[in-house]
Structure 1
Amino acid sequence: MNSPGTSVAERVRALVAAHRGDRGALLPILHRIQAEFGYVDSEVVPVLAAELNISRADVHGVITFYTDFRSEPAGRTVLKLCRAEACQSVGAERLVAHAEQVLGIKVGQTTGDGSVTLEQVFCLGNCALGPAGQLNERVQGRLTPGRLDALLTEAVNR
């Protein structure tokens, strides 16, 4: 997580300073940390707690409650599969099972080589085109196992 010339703690303190007067500053700070470093490392928890004058348990609780926050780096490719009702009704669960089998991981995990992280979401706003997924930042609709395999192969081989 270290950036050249700046310690993680210094960078986190700078992010806190940018939100010091904001009500509910923890969430925007955590989002900025994740955007900058790719995940929220456990080493930032005591720094945030001290800087925001809240308990480590409070910080940890927020990080673990919201599924948007990662506590370890994601793979080079992030696949999010929708499991909301509209997508479930057109085969999302079969698609998730297929992805887990093909990748050899469960939802919430990253492949051993760090190439793909598989995540679940509960709506991508693409309900009419379910089952839907998001590969990196691009939303995909009408996913089938074959189409998902092709998209993953293309993304991983870039």
Structure 2
Amino acid sequence: MIILGISLGTSRTGICILDNEKILAKNVHDYPVPWSDTKLRAILSNFRSYFKRYAIIGVIVKVPPPSRHTPALKRLMRRIEALARDHYCEVDFITKAEIKGTYVLQSTDEIIQFATKMHPELLELYQRGIKSNHKFHKKLYEAVLAAHIFYNRLKVKYLNRKKKHE
């Protein structure tokens, strides 16, 4: 089961491709230019490239709380939802508060620590971020945990379907 986890922003996004519980790909994409249709197309083009490379069955998008949804972010969310449907993928949205609640975490630092415990290969990136004082990689860790949450939801859903058909 391959899941695309996205921690969404209009300036920066974190991406995680999770196959079962293994990270196949991870990335942080920066979009420093002002919002425009060109920027929207660039962001969506990056997402499309993941669909071309991987057999994604589900997409989960970590978004800010609804009170912080700008028109640009809402438009981007709608387009991601359409992109997922075009690829016959289930799609869901989640907030940082929901991620924290699922794993009983209190802060962004705890999100990062928890993700690095689940995936020790992320520790090197975390340590480089500390040395260079770059906190922006937090989007990546949010994407990782969001992907895990969605993977577990789909796993339960498919197991329940299987039980019904037995």
Normalised by the length of structure 2, the TM-score is: 0.28
* Greater gyration radius: 1
Greater RCO, CA 8 A, separation 6+? 2
Normalised by the length of structure 1, the TM-score is: 0.29
Higher helix share: 2
Higher strand share: 2
